[in-house]
Amino acid sequence: MVKTVVLASSSPRRRELLENIGLKFRVDAAEINEDHGRRLKPAELAKIISLEKARAAASRHPDCIIIAADTFGLLNSEIMGKPADENEACLMLGRLSGKCHRVVTGFTILDTETGQAVSKAVETRVYFRKLDSQEIETYVKTGEPLDKAGAYAIQGLGALLVERIEGDYYNVIGLPLSALARELKGFGVKLPG
């Protein structure tokens, strides 16, 4: 019998990515305190937060496969989460202008029947072109940056800010699909193709 897969995330982008690869799943967002201030290496922090999200959803879903993730940007060693408002979005984008930053996504797959779990982290380097203040203000006024880590959406208008990337494009959106697909196989989850 194939187990039900549950995405423990309210992210419409993660939902869309999984739909695009043909995975059948339910959504049940796990609400936890995403404490990004812990003194851990970024990859470890992302994995731990994704594991906490998976465990929070697990209690509601016996005999299921849970997928949970956490994504954040890093400029030097500073974590850049979602901006609180337009002003903070402008400040974040100004700091990213003309620089390379890293996007880290931690994901966890958890089998709630057996307790088997795997947590991985993937990092992508994103290079922004030099932006002027008018470009930043115009982009922020679209509203797109306000619920995105690092204050931009690479799959939307934010693509215009990015010069190039090194690594997994889908990781920047919020879910490294290739790495996730490899790990899902170990849980008996079959994907089309």
Domain spans, the chain: 4-185
Task: Please check the confidence at residue 93 and state whether its pLDDT lies above 90.
Answer: yes
User: For residue 138, what are the CA distances in angstroms to 90, 130, 173, 174?
Assistant: 10, 15, 21, 24
pLDDT of residue 38: 66
Quote the pTM value: 0.91
Q: Which residue has the higher pLDDT, 79 or 120?
A: 120
Q: At what angle do helices 133-141 and 86-96 cross, to 10 degrees?
A: 140
Residue with tokens 């939307």: 156
Mark whether 70 is an active-site residue. yes
Return the beta strands (E) in 36-95 as ranges.
64-75, 78-80
pLDDT of residue 119: 98
For the chain, what's the residue count? 193
* pLDDT tens-digit readout, 8-31: 999 999 999 999 999 999 999 987
- Determine how β-strand 162-166 pairs with β-strand 64-75: unpaired
**Are the CB atoms for 174 and 11 separated by under 8 Å?**
yes
Does domain 4-185 fall into CATH 3.40.50.2000? no
The active-site residue, picked from 63, 70, 85, 168, is 70
Task: Please check the confidence at residue 33 and state whether its pLDDT lies above 80.
Answer: no
DSSP letters, 157-178, are GGGGGEEEEES-HHHHHT--HH
| H-run or E-run covering 119 | strand 117-128
| Mean pLDDT of the chain, nearest integer | 93
pLDDT of residue 193: 66
Average pLDDT over residues 152-176: 96
pLDDT tier at 81 (50, 70, 90 boundaries)? confident
* pLDDT tens-digit readout, 98-111: 999 999 999 999 99
Distance CA 128, CA 90 (A): 14
